[in-house]
A and B are shown apart, each in its own frame.
Chain A
Amino acid sequence: MNALPKLACRHVWKLYGPGAESFLQANPDPTLDGIRSAGLIPAVRNANIDIKDGEIFVIMGLSGSGKSTLVRCLSRLIEPTAGELRFHGEDLRAMSNKEMIEIRRHKLGMVFQHFALLPHLTVLQNVAFPLSIQGRKKAEAEARAREVISLVGLEGREDYFPRELSGGQQQRVGIARSLAVEPELWFLDEPFSALDPLIRREMQDEFMRLQGMLKKTIVFITHDFDEAIRLADRIAIMKDGGVIQVATPEELVLSPASDYVEEFTRHIPRAKVMSVGAVMDKGAQGSGAGILLTTKIAQVAEEVVASDTPLSVVDKDGTPVGAISREAIIPILARAGG
């Protein structure tokens, strides 16, 4: 893994209202009340995040928490009021309009909540659109478009117009379109929020399948904590424009930084986020072929409960590091729904 984060975001602020910039220069670290009493609207407050190469980084927050603004700041769709953005170590905010256009054309991709498909173009033309904006030849663009369309499972629908498709299908087009340019950094802004629950689930699986193949670096926005837990390598939780906690799903559940975070985690089945390593009896001996340290408890629960003796736990090299017993996991399973 690369030591340098793909995208680093340091002390990023976005305040709306007249005189926001000068206000921030005068008070480099204002409080929430300070901002509000100055007549400004805080959308993002002092955000610090690193997006690492190849990870799925989820930004989770309720509506109005600033997550959409933050992701738009990261891609400079919205100009931050203050702060630093480094893409591969390069200062993104210092780039000219022209350089930004080049980066967006070749290195960034984005999927939108309401799909943002162009209504006057067919599926094929929509997917080929970013390529044709780059000035690629029509035949070449369409060939590549067909490739990604089949990747998302929409072969045969190339000549349909967006409104002839269902919501889930439309979002597949949105995903295909953003993948057509092979982006290095892939933004997904609540991509599944507008879909029905069943379709949402299906699309999440589809998304994980794609990510298994493509191994993109992803910034994923959602207001749905379950979705965040399901998909994320790491999660940033936002409230009132500030980032409250950045952690893996397991860390969030085990040690929430505040009551606010805990409120979300309460309903999450522990067994699904906690790994075997977190509850094993360290150094103890166990029987069996050895369960991998990072396996989620839910996946092995049946096996552990069925066994009368503790089962052996191994690290990724296969060395035994401890044992897991029925007694250790039953309390976790018991408070499954909170």
Chain B
Amino acid sequence: MSVRILRKPVFWWGVLFALTWLLSVYGKTIATGLDMKWLVKYPTAWVFPLKGMISDTMKWLVEDEGLFTMTTRAISWTVAQPYDLVRALLADGFDHGQGRDAVQILPPLSWITVIAMVMALGHYAKNWGLAALVGAAFAYLAIFGQWQSAMITLASVLIAVPIGVIGGLLLGILAYRHPRFDRMLTPVLDLMQTIPIFAYLVPILMMFGFNPVSALVATVIYAMPPMVRITTKSLNAVDPEIKDFGNMTGCTRAQMTWRILVPAAQNSLMIGVNQVIMLSLNMVIIASMIGAGGLGFDVLASLRKLDIGGGFEAGIAIVVLAIAIDRLSQAFAERAHVTAPKGTPWLARHPRTIVVAIVLIAALVIGYILPAFQTYPKAQTLTTGAFWDDSVKYLNINFYDQFEAVKIFFLKGFMLPLKWFLLSVPWPWMIGVVVLIGWRFGGWKLALMNLIMAAFIVSTGLWVKAMISVYLCGASVILACVIGIPIGVLAAVNARAGRIIGVVIDTLQTLPSFVYLIPVVMLLGIGDFTAMIAIVLYALAPAVRYTAHGVRSVSGDLIEAGVVSGCTRRQILTRIRLPLALPDILLGINQTIMLALSMLVITALVGSRDLGQEVYIALAKADTGRGIVAGLGVAFIAIIADRIISASARNARVRYGLEAAHG
């Protein structure tokens, strides 16, 4: 009997937790008693000066006039050309001459033309409904005075997206053709996706300077990895018969790629394109910190001035733009080919092109006479800034005590104990725990990897900040799961609730991470609690979505078997649906953790003292080494969490026979 208990996982976890708890309580006393203070506080003298080394290398690279600087200048020039063109077209107009002597020879596209264009695209991609939606979104931008900034943001997206898509496609094809390249690329992509964006803003800033090109480069680096992955995955998923057909027809390798594989994978590739668009939009906002301007800059400037109304308006403009672009690109991805009637003349087949051309010329000509046709008149713009300011004031005056009570309840009852617990466990034991868990789920390989990564964090002197990051993310993830998993279950078992929740979650995912900060800061001021709420809002979506998917996809036969065996609804949920959905729920938690970590740096704006803040400071001081090392720290935390949870999800799937033991 006792032996059986010893073998149970509950026992294993119980002992591990109890030991950790004891050490967190008595660690300090033991360390003092043994005269080994280094157990609880990693000595500064032991810190490996990695960040200085990276900074020096970077400095040497940038200051040394050679191949490196030539390359960066070449990239800079190449990216700047199309960007300047699109920006001139949408926002600035075409000038002749330099500086003050500049004469505008052609104005930018009139707001009416742009709205006509996006409506035409909406109609082409889907129907009048979509045309109306995107038309209304762009009209909103004009009416609420966000046009100029929105067009600058749009210009960045329009340049970043093709570069990201084409680059991702080519790399993906290469990885598909050469499995060895694929194996080399995967860890690089992992890093690109997990290092916080801010960490590589610094070196990019040093290489390309404070200008839109830096922002574009950062955006592309951030937005490309999913395209690479989706390309490789969807090319691999092309029906082998179609590949055989290509070979039997005598396709050369190029014909095979461009005439068979890529078109056959078109639909899944479009999902990648949509991802690139959404990530670019998210990043363009963040990149406004290094010179992209546009809506992101407006939000940032307002946040700094604590101009709640202005920030909120720019924030909503971002949301509106994001939703319009997202719906458009999704419609393009799902657009079905239709049988075109034969023999219709060109004019009849391209009605939208004609309409847009007419609007373009008309707006241009009339715009010279009536400026309102060129630029939306300032006098007619609406602003809701004052309204938001007033509502926040009202809420703060009348409900301050309530907000404070909630805040203090969470801080005292949940966040601070967790923080204290994590900070007081001696670091060698914490590393040991991470290694043990790695060993339990993924064998010695995972254990070794965890050891190396944890050792990196401690040896670069980032332990305390890393633990604060873990605490902040951990608290947010726990809260997100407590809220998200029940919502996901509800969405799965109740079709009507599911539809509503689906729309809300879709919208939440479309919003750039920045946007979440604004309302939370408005109501709760700054601090850890605010940071946690913002992270929860941002990271909630995957917990809900994966849970709903997992619960929904439990096979109907099993449910019927349950019903026939006389299960109540509750029993069906707890005995059948939830256990079988466990692997999916775990993956959802995994995604939630990833999003939470990526939000860290942004919450540094509201004063959390974690690795995110470290990265943010590095950005302010243009300290490459500091930024990269802290960024790697965040990435390593993310990778450790990801590998452990993926391994346990795999174990669960193997246990249920959904996946072969080694495959």
Contacts and interface: CB of A to CB of B under 8 A. Distances in A.
Contact of B337 (A102, A109, A115, A120): A120
Contact of A104 (B242, B250, B337, B340): B250
A105 B246 CA distance: 10
A91 interface: no
Contact of A129 (B244, B249, B339): B249
Interface string A63-91: 00000000010010100000000000000
Contact of B264 (A113, A119, A187): A119
Interface string A124-166: 0000011001100000000000000000000000011100100
B179 to A, nearest CB: 15
A117 to B, nearest CB: 8
Contacts of A75: 248
B255 A133 contact: yes
B565 interface: no
A202 to B, nearest CB: 22
B252 interface: yes
Given A118-B263, A133-B255, A133-B259, A159 B342 contact: yes
A225 interface: no
B188 interface: no
B339 A160 contact: yes
Nearest to B260: A118
Nearest to A183: B248
Contacts of B242: 116, 118
Contacts of A203: none
Contact of B250 (A72, A105, A122, A187): A105
Given A112-B244, A114-B241, A159-B340, A104 B260 contact: no
B266 interface: yes
A121 B249 CA distance: 16
Interface residues of A, number: 32
B239 interface: yes
Contacts of A122: 339
A109 B251 contact: no
A110 interface: yes
Interface in B241-299: 241-242, 244-245, 247-252, 255, 259-260, 263-264, 266
B250 A134 contact: yes
A101 interface: yes
B75 to A, nearest CB: 34
A115 B337 CA distance: 19
Contacts of B251: 101, 133
Contacts of A106: 250
A77 B339 contact: no
Contacts of B263: 118, 120-121
B264 A101 contact: no
B250 A133 contact: yes
A231 interface: no
B339 A104 contact: no
Interchain residue pairs A-B with the least CB separation, the first 4: A105-B250, A104-B250, A116-B241, A116-B245
Given A104-B248, A112-B241, 7 more contacts: A104-B249, A104-B250, A108-B248, A116-B245, A118-B242, A122-B339, A133-B249
17 contacts: A72-B244, A77-B244, A104-B247, A105-B249, A105-B250, A110-B244, A112-B244, A115-B241, A116-B239, A116-B244, A120-B264, A120-B266, A121-B263, A133-B251, A133-B255, A134-B250, A159-B339
